[in-house]
């Protein structure tokens, strides 16, 4: 099985820490953020991934499982190659690319993905563009106003 370079994991954690700082300073969402390598998954997840494929990617089949009594541990199945995941403070689990090594690229990727999850969790714009009601957007290494294209704050330095 392929190994994941520990330096890639360290860099992803550094990127995640910057975005986590923005979330912590501007929301009431709490929880630990960690980057982890997974080399297996539960059998149900594997079944979902094995759904039929079409031009846009996998089509997931829906599953309903009702269990009475104590929940059982699902069997684990190995992945073809390890995956790098961001477990973001109880808000989301996000699959990360194993190839990103530049901090700026990683921060941009995590910020964009986490932004959607935070908006879904809070049911409001995040981060809010000052003077507007809309969310800011990721532009380079900054949060910026999508209307004026002016920078709001560097990612990792956002304030309320």
The Cα–Cα gap between 144 and 109 comes to 15
pTM over 0.85: no
What stretch of H or E contains 110? Answer: helix 103-122
Reading the chain (160 residues) residue by residue, the pLDDT tens digits are 468 888 888 999 999 999 999 999 999 988 888 898 888 776 655 555 555 443 444 444 434 444 555 656 767 778 888 888 888 877 778 888 887 668 889 999 999 999 999 999 999 999 999 989 899 999 989 999 999 999 999 999 998 7
CB count within 10 Å of CB 112 equals 12
- Record the tokens describing residue 154, joined without a space: 């560097």
Q: Beta-strand (E) ranges in the chain?
A: 33-42, 53-54, 57-58, 76-88, 92-96, 137-139, 142-144, 151-154
Rounded to an integer, what distance in angstroms lies between the CA atom of residue 87 and that of residue 71? 23
HSE toward the beta carbon, residue 56, CA cutoff 13 A:
2
């Amino acid at each position: 099985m392929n190994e994941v370079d520990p330096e890639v994991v360290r860099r992803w954690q550094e990127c995640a820490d910057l975005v986590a700082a923005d979330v912590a300073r501007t929301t009431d969402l709490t929880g630990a953020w960690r980057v982890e390598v997974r080399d297996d998954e539960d059998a149900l997840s594997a079944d979902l991934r094995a759904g039929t494929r079409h031009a846009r990617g996998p089509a997931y089949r829906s599953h309903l499982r009702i269990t009475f009594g104590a929940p059982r541990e699902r069997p684990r199945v190995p992945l073809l190659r390890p995956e790098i995941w961001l477990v973001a403070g109880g808000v989301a689990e996000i699959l990360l690319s194993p190839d990103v090594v530049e901090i700026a690229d990683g921060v941009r990727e995590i910020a964009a993905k986490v932004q959607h999850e935070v908006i879904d969790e809070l049911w409001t714009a995040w981060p809010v563009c000052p003077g507007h009601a809309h969310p800011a957007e990721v532009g380079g290494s900054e949060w910026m106003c999508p209307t004026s294209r002016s920078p709001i704050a560097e990612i990792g330095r956002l304030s309320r």
